[in-house]
Every structure is written in C-alpha cells, then in structure tokens.
Structure 1
C-alpha cells in the first residue's frame, strides 16, 4: 500500500477514520456558530469569554476522571456515549437560538456540558489510535486524521461564516448534531478486544497515571509550557479574534472565516508532508514549529486585514500540525498502551488548566487596554516560551522508536 496511507490497511482504523472524519466536518463549523450565537445575544467580549471559559473549566475538571474511565472501559463506547451527550446539549442550543430564548448563562451551561463530554472523548481518542494500527503506521495514522481535520477546517469556517451571516448560527449547530449521529453508528463497527479487568482502585489508577506522567521530563516540561502557551493562544485568538472581526470592518465576520480557513490550509499542507516525511526528532522540530503561532497574533494586533492575517495563520497552521504530529507520535510510542489515556489526561490537564484564566483575562484586557499592544506583547511571550522549551535536553534529543508492534486484527 502507498506509504502515506499505510494505516488504512487496518479494518478498525478505517471505520474510526470515517467516523472521525464526519465529526470533524461538523465540528469544524461549531466554534464559529457558538461564538456568534453568544455575540448575537450579547455583543461584548466578556460574554464570549464567559461561555468559552465555562467549556474549558468543565473540561479541565473532568479530564483526569475521563482518562481513568477511558483506560478501564472500551474506548469506542466511551466516545459514543459522549457523542450522545453532545447531541442533546448542542441540539438544545440550536433550539434556544431558533426560538430566541438563548441567554449567555444558558449557553454557558450547555457549553460546560460539552466541555465535560469532551474531557472523556479526548483521552479515549488518544488511547484508541495505537489499538487500531501498528507502531510503524502511527505517524501516518495521525497525519491522515490531521489531514481531514485541516481540510474541513479550510471549508468549514468559510461555510459557517456564510451561513451564520445569512441564516444564523442555529443551522450550523444542527449540522453538528447530524454528524454526531452518523459517527455513533460507524464507531459501532470497530472490533477491539475488551480492556483487561483491573483490580486496582480508582485512586491507585490515578497515582499510576501520575507516576508515568511525572517520571518523564520531556512530557511534563512540554505540558507545563503549554499551560502558558495555550492560555495566550486561546485567549488572544478565540476572544480577541472574533471580537475584532465583529467590530472592525477591515477584518469582518466573513474575513475571520477566511483567516481560520487559511490556518487550516497550513495544517493541510503540513499533514501531507507528515504522511511521507518521518520526524526523526519530533519534539525538537515540534517546539520550533509551534513558535510560529506568535506571527498571526502579531499581525492581528498591528495590521488586522484579512489577507495579512490569513498569510500569517497559514504559516502558524503548518507549525501547529508539525508539533501535533510529533507530540502525538511520541506520546503513543513512549507510553504503555494500558496507561495511555490516563497519562494523556494529565498532559491535557496541565496544558488546558490555565485556559479559563487566559480567556477571562483577555476578555477583560481587551476592554481595558490597547488591543494592539496586548496582542504584540502576548506574541513575544509565546515565542520565547516555545523556543526555550525546545532547548531542554530530553526534548531536544527525543527520537523515534523504530521497531513495530504486532499488527492489530484486520478481519
């Protein structure tokens, strides 16, 4: 089989890939729908910051629990159950927006339910991929999933921006509900052996996961650096970006959709490269590449025209994908499979815990200080932290595991 598509020879991965592709198509439009649903109710950056913060707080609160559950139960079942919860919560959002009954507190509550469900899905997703394919195919599998994510990110925000601007955000939410329904059925086709029964307590499982996480310097150092990096990125990009788009004609809502699509295009190009070019030093190159996120933050602050920001976002998107592929492959190769979801949940917790503070802080700072200066300073801090983390010896030297694990069942 063609090297870049080698993971597709595994039957269970094919079903997972199809299900994940559909949810990515629907989910690529959801962030714009939620953002402008909130701004339709209350055109203030603080209102949007509250809703985004509630999602992240709930996500962070349940991540560790989600990791233990995903290691104990069939991971496909965990994902399916959470999709049912998402269908109910997003469907309720759409109903409230359609009927004019949406309020910021209600959208924040429903967003927190989405965040809790996502806290179980994310470690389950991270843990299930090595079960579906071989070690030698992990980079290709991750790159293929990222390819679909980036492809949908290109078209999704543009379509969502047009639909939101003409018909309203509720219609986009209904597309997401339909996508989740189809994905649930497709995930039922995956055949994996049940997880081994554990005699250990929930607390002991937590401690084991913590030991596996903290005993690896490369893991906790990168995770802790992303505590700050994500707070800056999500706060500046997800709050300042839509706010500027909604209030500055030089960018505009449709222009912001094009910017997000350009970021997706950068990811798309890099995923194609990652399907063919092996990363020998995945963390070294990953941290160097992720520092490019500082570029669109700077342009957004100094020159908020859609074309200029889109070019910078393209470069940043490529950098984000190079890091994501390198990080996921390293984690999947270096962490034992029966502990992977727990360890991944600790990584996610460390990386995400400061995002609520970042979104709240930027929501307040945008109204209190000069937005241009705020974004430029934030970009400078981002670049320094990313490049500094790259120089940690275990990050700089991390390589790949060459030997392959036994093939998963393909029948």
Structure 2
C-alpha cells in the first residue's frame, strides 16, 4: 500500500506562496543546515588541530577516513530504517548519535587517535543516517508543487555556509581552543536532531519484517523502474569519479606548479561556490519544460573544470570555468532531488535516496585515490582530457534515455 504524501492526504491545508513562510519547513531547513554545517566544520576544525600540533597529519587522515567508512556503512541501513519506521525518528536518533560521539573526538585530541577514529565512525554513521531520512522527510513536510523551491532553499543554505563558515571558524579559533570547537559541532548535531518537525506516522507493521538486505534490494528494484534515475545516477557517478577528483587533486597542484600561488586554488573554489549560489537561486523558480535535459546539461558543465586546467590559460579562465561548474551542479542537484521525491513510491523513497548517496559519495574517495597515480603514469594532459571527456559525454549518454527529458516515466506537458 502506498503511503500518501501530505499533498495527497491533507487537502484542507491552505497553500502558501513560498516555503519560507511555512514554519514546518523553516524547522526542517534549520535542521538540515545544522547537520550540513556540522559535517563541513569537523574536517576544518581538525585541520586547525594539525596546525597547533595536537593532531598529526596522519592522525587526521585516519579520523576522516573512519568517518567516511561510518557514513558509507550507515547510508543503506538508514535508508531501510527510514522507510520502515518514522523518518523523523531516524533523524532524531542519527543526530543524537553524532552529538554524543563528537565530544569523544575532542577528548581524544592530543591523546588517542584510536578513540578519535572510533568516535568519528559513529559521527559519520549519524551523518549517513540523516541524509536519506532528510530527503524523505522533505517530501512529507512540503507539498509536491513547492518541493523544488524547498530543495533549492536547502542547497542555498549549504552553499552560503561553505562560503562564510571558514572565516567564522577562524575567528572563533582566536578565542576558543580546538577541543571546544569540536564540541561545538556536536551542539549543531543536537539542533539537527531536535529541530525538524514531525512527518507522517510510521507505517504499520505487516507481518514479519524481511532482512535489511532484502528490503534494500526492494529499493534498488524501485530505482530500476525509473530508467531516468539509473541513467542520471550513472552520469553523476562518472562525473564525481572524474571531475570531482580533478578539483580535489589536480587543482591544488596546478595552482602551485603552474601559477606559483595557492591564491588560484582559493579563488577557484570561491568561484565554484558563488556559481552554485547563483544556480540555486535560478533553479528555485525556473522550471523548464525539458527539466531533465537541462539538469543533465548542468551536470555536464563539470567538464569545464578539467578543461580549464588542461592548458596554461589566464587564471580568470579557471575562475570562470569553476563558476560555471558550480552553477551547473545546482541546475542538476535541485531538479534531481525534486524528481526523486516526486516519482519514487513514497514508502521506498529513503531507500532509493540512500542508493543515490551511496553511489555518489562512495565513488568520491575512490576517484581521489585513482587520479594522482594516473597522472604519474599517463601525465597531466591525457588524464585531464579524459576527465573532461567523461564529464561531457556521460550526461549526454544519460540524456538519450527517453524518460530523462523530464526526469519522469509519465508524459509531461
């Protein structure tokens, strides 16, 4: 039986012109923003610990690696749990787990890297458990016609945080030690746990529950019912594996070796964030007829990143390429999330979302590990040219799938 969405079941709820006037969405937005800020802040704060010598660079790598492992292990499990039980409850317990484990990381600073790593794995698991549950909770809290605006508002908050938070954290570091800053990220997780509103009640149990793996497989089968989803996910995975890796590995090296300054790295990343902000603002209200094709075209913009590093161009060209890349990724992200919330059967939404996060986030560290050795073996130009080609061609191939035009199996007028 399909669980109805609020837009299906609550016809008496008066519509509002904008999600920013909806108190329930504001609570959800604040919760997701707090979780995103906590997720971003921890690596930066631990980087400060390396600078003040309370943590070694190797220790930082171990802690961040275990956090990623915790995230990847939790994502598929949480997708099943968020569909099996209340999405709001999964957010609550995931946020509480991360909030409790964060002070343990602070206790391990200057002492045991093992303690920090175990606690970081729990924090990563909380982060991973929140992501699909938040996606499904958004579909429960926000009516279908306003979800694109809601998703744009959420991603806009993430980009603003990325832009302004480094300076804020650096200022706090003047008056607070690193341990207190780490604990502060735990307070953010408490906000993420308690702020979001209630969604729909948990589905009633129907006999004996199948195993988690079998339930996750049901989500994979649901995803396969939507050819546009599998095609888009494949394109996203290819772009993450190549284009994202270029930004993480090649851009710092090019900034240092070709331009002789880290300022190019900082300016390119800032341009990316500014472009993403512009993309989120644009896509909040723009709904083109062929929305899927526009989204895939935006994803293909990521090819401009490796292309700008391929030849010795003026730094302004690099900045413009990264601004286009940021713009394009939001032209993809917001319609992608909105279409998933619209098209996927509601009782399976968290599982399908967890598949999305598992593939995209799981390939990111693999690509980062692959790119540097590939450059050593094949050289700069072939690798960057190959990455650019993949970023352009993978979304184009996904666009050939008939249902990709509108990210829908139904004909849309």
User: TM-score normalised by the shorter chain: which range applies?
Assistant: 0.7 to 0.9
Deviations 1:198-235 (A, max 9, x none): 32523353343222111221111221232322222443
Once the two structures are TM-superposed, the CA of residue 345 in structure 1 deviates from its matched residue by 1.6
1:96 to partner: Cα distance:
4.1
**1:15-60 superposed Cα distances (whole Å, 9 cap, x missing partner):** 111222333344444444456767976668xx88776554444433
Match of 2:71 among 56, 59, 64: 59
Q: 2:98 aligns with which of 59, 81, 86?
A: 86
Q: CA 1:285–1:297 in 2, change beyond 3 Å: closer, same or farther?
A: same
Q: Pick one of 209, 212, 220 that aligns with 2:219.
A: 209
Cα pair 1:290 1:319 within 8 Å, conserved: yes
Q: Following TM superposition, by how much is the alpha carbon of 1:129 offset from its aligned partner in structure 2, in angstroms? A: 0.3
Provide the C-alpha distance between the structure 2 equivalents of 1:244 and 1:336, rounded to a whole number of angstroms. 45
Match of 2:145 in 1: 136
Alpha-carbon separation, structure 1, partners of 2:246 and 2:64: 12
For 1:202, what is the secondary structure of its paired residue? Answer: coil
Report 1:169-184 matches (<5 A): 173-184=182-193
Larger of the two Rg values belongs to structure: 2
Q: Alignment partner for residue 198 of structure 1, among 196, 201, 205?
A: 205
The residue number in structure 1 matching 2:399 is: 390
Deviations 1:249-300 (A, max 9, x none): 8442x76444333222111112211222224322211111111112223335
2:9 corresponds to: none
**Residue in structure 2 matched with residue 69 of structure 1 by the alignment:** 81
CA contact (8 A) 1:79 1:120 kept: yes
Q: Trace 1:108-147 onto structure 2 (pairs within 5 A).
A: 109-147=118-156
Choose 302-311 or 77-86, whichever is displaced more. Answer: 302-311
Quickly say closer, same or farther: Cα 1:244–1:42, change in 2 above 3 A: farther
Q: Residue by residue, what CA displacement relative to the aligned partner does 1:333-385 show, whole Å, maximum 9, x if unpaired? A: 10121211012122333334433422322354466664565444323322222
Matched ranges for 1:190-339 at <5 A: 190-199=197-206, 201-203=209-211, 204-241=214-251, 250-252=260-262, 256-300=265-309, 302=311, 308-339=317-348
The structure-2 alpha-carbon separation of the partners of 1:73 and 1:246, relative to structure 1 and needing over 3 Å to count, comes to farther
* Conserved? CA contact 2:343–2:408, under 8 Å: no
Q: What is the RMSD of the two structures over their aligned residues, measured on CA atoms?
A: 3.8
Number of equivalent positions: 393
Please, which runs of 5 or more residues in structure 2 have no aligned partner? Answer: 1-14
**Structure 1: stretches of 5+ with no match in the other structure:** 404-411
TM-score for both structures, normalised by structure 1: 0.80
Distance change >3 Å, CA 306–CA 90, structure 1 → 2 = farther
The alpha-carbon deviation at position 238 of structure 1 amounts to: 3.0
Q: Compared with structure 1, are the counterparts of its residues 178 and 60 closer, same or farther at alpha carbon in structure 2 (3 Å cutoff)?
A: closer
Instruction: Give a deviation string over 1:278-331, Cα, whole Å, max 9, x none.
Output: 243222111111111122233356559876544322211110111001101111
Go from structure 1 to structure 2 and tell me whether the alpha carbon gap of 1:62 and 1:102 turns closer, same or farther (over 3 Å shift). same
